[in-house]
Chain A
Amino acid sequence: MDFTLSKEHEMVRTLFKEFAQNEVKPLAQEVDETENFPRETVEKMAKLGFMGIPIPKEYGGQGCDILTYAMCVEELSKVCGTTGVIVSAHTSLCCDPILTFGTEEQKQKYLVPLAKGEKLGAFGLTEPGAGTDAQGQQTKAVLDGDEYVLNGSKIFITNGKEADVYVIFAITGVTTDAKGRSKKTISAFIVEKGTPGFTFGVKEKKMGIRGSSTYELIFQDCRIPKANLLGKDGEGFKIAMHTLDGGRIGIAAQALGLAEGALENTISYTKERKQFGKAIAAFQNTQFQIADMATKCQAAQYLVYAAARKKDEYQKDHKTVYSVEAAMAKLYAAEVAMEVTTKAVQLHGGYGYTREYDVERMMRDAKITEIYEGTSEVQRMVISAALLK
């Protein structure tokens, strides 16, 4: 078993690290404070191909593997959780389902500009009554001639108002199963910003990842071409679950980055901060805390990279199943992120509680990783279901 990275991956990490340090870190505090979407950073990332890392070159992407993509989200999140999730939601939740389930026409029309970063993507599954219970969807799409008419709303949508292309889920019918129970048929659609009847509701005021644009999407008699049905009618649930499996690797990488960033900040702070005449790094409590934090970060990294490698196998054979690995990576990395950032604040003492220090923001950013793209409880359901079936 080889845990070492290839020279290519080492070099690409250097690239992400340099970009994060030079272009992202200087803005992180301001992005959090003002809750402004970092549009200029996204444009810079687009020029460098960061918005289409695992997308094949023929569709405008970089043609790299999932591991490279995960490393990008990890390095960005070390300095700014907001920037990490913008790339993750765009890539995993919008580009990936179009790549996997889209027709050639859909890929040319939507995936190419998305992968080049000319357009930004988002994903709309969650509704007020349909979070963990994705079957609780209320949004409906009714076929009327050559168009589907969409009615309903989606909430907590990352990249909400800033995106140009949305993958949206809606009920297209009701079927009855063998036991006579009725079940909603869900389908996925590609919806463009600016389509009449598609508007935005409230902007969420969040605890963390405050620069990411989180909005309610409202559809009122929104007519979308039949050609924008993604996959087949009724495949929506399958597409959503597939997409979230991949998305979890992105969020796991974000959580990992937040934990590692907090650890790095804590190491340098505890070497500088003096109490009782010596650096607090000289105290055994600090040393033991840092040892635990680093060990957990390393374990999380192995899980995240292993899940990414597994999805890379899927990209090649379209058979390999990586749901459990993705769920384990997300569950563990998110809990490590919360624990490590909390310890980081503690080791920073009173200063760590102020917004002058990055660890305060990192702790707020970390919390969401235990909630979105499947809560930690959902990850435990996915893992145990595979074991107990």
Chain B
Amino acid sequence: MKIIVCIKQVPDTKGGVKFNPDGTLNRAAMLTIMNPDDKAGLEAALRLKDQYGAEVTVITMGLPKAEEVLREALAMGADKGILVTDRVLGGADTWATSSTLAGAIRNLDYDLIITGRQAIDGDTAQVGPQISEHLNIPVISYAQKIEIDGDSVIVERQYDDRYHVVKAKMPCLITALAELNAPRYMTPGGIFDAFKADITVWGRANLVDVDDSNLGLKGSPTQIAKASDKVRKGTGEKVNLDADASVEYIVGKLKEKHVI
């Protein structure tokens, strides 16, 4: 089985969000991480590899620096990394991004494409489904569980209060939720091997069946007027204690923070 996982390097919002004077994100000034939903998608692919045997290729579009997330993916256990980078691809919105990624993926054999549900910097959840449209394959979004059944996948698709079990013939595309799994750690040796591995670098010339009018800033119907940071409530903390222990715990926390 051949699996392609689309990943994105995103700003680590824990380190604070920084903007350029024109209101766009100053990516160079921010620490970066692998987008959490994408990492869950990669973990899902690696589990399928462990369970059924598969070749996992990770692909990302971005600045040359985005190579870092490919190395991280290799250190987790992915087999190949492809970086799609070119000046003409810069400033892409979701449409131009999905056109680019689909153009790159047309070079590859695959049974399954996994993307994250959405990236934490844009929060659109559009790129995965758009890739499936460009490639004319089925899409199952919001996967919380993935199984292989012969030449099909069976996926639990999450809703607010329920889930649907959906079956699709491969090749198809799945978008993964961060809640799908707890991604594995890299290994020390895996990291050093990952930096020795060759990363395939593709530019505009390597994209198949994509018109220039669908690429980069010029090919992006969406124009960003201004980006802003949202006030985060934080993830909070969940504990499972009985009533008495809960009271003791909460009072302890309040004392620790010097509230009482």
A interface, CB within 8 angstroms of B: 6-8, 11-12, 15, 18-19, 48-50, 53, 57, 61-64, 68, 72, 272-274, 356
8 A-B interface contacts by CB (under 8 A): A8-B192, A11-B195, A62-B192, A68-B188, A68-B192, A273-B258, A274-B258, A356-B256
For A65, give the chain B residue with the smallest CB separation. B192
**Contact string, B170-207, partner A, CB cutoff 8 A, digits 1/0?**
00000000000000011111011001000000000000
For B33, give the chain A residue with the smallest CB separation. A14
For B257, give the chain A residue with the smallest CB separation. A272
Say whether, besides A49-B187, A62-B188, A8 and B195 are in contact (CB < 8 Å): yes
- How far is the CB of B139 from the nearest CB of chain A, in Å? 31
Stretch touching chain A among B67-75, B113-121, B210-218:
B67-75
**Contact string, B43-74, partner A, CB cutoff 8 A, digits 1/0?**
00000000000000000000000001001100
Say whether, besides A272-B258, A274-B258, A11 and B189 are in contact (CB < 8 Å): no
Contact between B188 and A64 (Cβ–Cβ < 8 Å)?
A: yes
The 9 closest A-B pairs by CB, nearest first: A62-B189, A62-B188, A49-B187, A8-B195, A64-B188, A12-B191, A15-B186, A11-B191, A63-B189
- CB contacts (< 8 Å) of B185 on chain A: these are 15, 18-19, 48
- How far is the CB of A347 from the nearest CB of chain B, in Å? 15
- CB contacts (< 8 Å) of A63 on chain B: these are 189, 192
Interface residues contributed by chain B, number (CB under 8 Å): 15
Query: Once the chains are docked, how many angstroms separate the CA of A273 from the CA of B259?
Result: 11
Query: Once the chains are docked, how many angstroms separate the CA of A49 from the CA of B191?
Result: 12
- CB contacts (< 8 Å) of A7 on chain B: these are 68, 71, 195
- CB contacts (< 8 Å) of B71 on chain A: these are 7, 11
Known contacts A15-B191, A62-B187, A72-B188; 10 further A-B pairs (Cβ under 8 A): A7-B195, A12-B191, A19-B185, A49-B188, A62-B188, A62-B189, A62-B192, A64-B189, A273-B258, A356-B256
Contact between B187 and A48 (Cβ–Cβ < 8 Å)?
A: yes
* Interchain CB contact (< 8 A) of A53 among B188, B257, B258: B188
Query: Once the chains are docked, how many angstroms separate the CA of A50 from the CA of B188?
Result: 7
- How far is the CB of B199 from the nearest CB of chain A, in Å? 13
A/B pair count, beta carbons within 8 Å: 53
- How far is the CB of A325 from the nearest CB of chain B, in Å? 23
Query: Once the chains are docked, how many angstroms separate the CA of A62 from the CA of B186?
Result: 12
- How far is the CB of A93 from the nearest CB of chain B, in Å? 19
- CB contacts (< 8 Å) of B72 on chain A: these are 11
- CB contacts (< 8 Å) of B186 on chain A: these are 11-12, 15
For B252, give the chain A residue with the smallest CB separation. A356
- CB contacts (< 8 Å) of A48 on chain B: these are 185, 187-188
Contact between B192 and A49 (Cβ–Cβ < 8 Å)?
A: no
Query: Once the chains are docked, how many angstroms separate the CA of A104 from the CA of B220?
Result: 63
For B189, give the chain A residue with the smallest CB separation. A62
- CB contacts (< 8 Å) of B189 on chain A: these are 49, 57, 61-64
- CB contacts (< 8 Å) of B75 on chain A: these are 11, 15
- How far is the CB of B210 from the nearest CB of chain A, in Å? 32
- How far is the CB of A175 from the nearest CB of chain B, in Å? 43
For A6, give the chain B residue with the smallest CB separation. B195
Query: Once the chains are docked, how many angstroms separate the CA of A11 from the CA of B189?
Result: 11
* Interchain CB contact (< 8 A) of A12 among B188, B257, B258: B188
- How far is the CB of A302 from the nearest CB of chain B, in Å? 22
- How far is the CB of B237 from the nearest CB of chain A, in Å? 11
- How far is the CB of A11 from the nearest CB of chain B, in Å? 5
- CB contacts (< 8 Å) of B192 on chain A: these are 8, 12, 62-64, 68
- How far is the CB of A126 from the nearest CB of chain B, in Å? 30
The interface centre, meaning the residue of B71, B187, B188, B257 with most chain A CB atoms within 10 A of its CB, is: B188
Query: Once the chains are docked, how many angstroms separate the CA of A72 from the CA of B186?
Result: 13
Give residues of chain B (50-102) contacting chain A, Cβ–Cβ below 8 Å: 68, 71-72, 75
Query: Once the chains are docked, how many angstroms separate the CA of A15 from the CA of B34?
Result: 13
- How far is the CB of A32 from the nearest CB of chain B, in Å? 18
- How far is the CB of B231 from the nearest CB of chain A, in Å? 20
- CB contacts (< 8 Å) of A50 on chain B: these are 188
- CB contacts (< 8 Å) of A356 on chain B: these are 256
Say whether, besides A7-B68, A7-B195, A15 and B188 are in contact (CB < 8 Å): yes
Query: Once the chains are docked, how many angstroms separate the CA of A50 from the CA of B258?
Result: 38
The interface centre, meaning the residue of A12, A57, A63, A72 with most chain B CB atoms within 10 A of its CB, is: A12
- How far is the CB of B76 from the nearest CB of chain A, in Å? 10
- CB contacts (< 8 Å) of B187 on chain A: these are 15, 48-49, 62
- How far is the CB of B83 from the nearest CB of chain A, in Å? 15
- How far is the CB of B238 from the nearest CB of chain A, in Å? 13
- CB contacts (< 8 Å) of B191 on chain A: these are 8, 11-12, 15
Query: Once the chains are docked, how many angstroms separate the CA of A103 from the CA of B22?
Result: 66
Query: Once the chains are docked, how many angstroms separate the CA of A157 from the CA of B188?
Result: 28
Query: Once the chains are docked, how many angstroms separate the CA of A72 from the CA of B192?
Result: 14
For A273, give the chain B residue with the smallest CB separation. B258
Query: Once the chains are docked, how many angstroms separate the CA of A167 from the CA of B157?
Result: 55
Query: Once the chains are docked, how many angstroms separate the CA of A123 from the CA of B224?
Result: 63
Query: Once the chains are docked, how many angstroms separate the CA of A356 from the CA of B249?
Result: 13
- How far is the CB of B124 from the nearest CB of chain A, in Å? 27
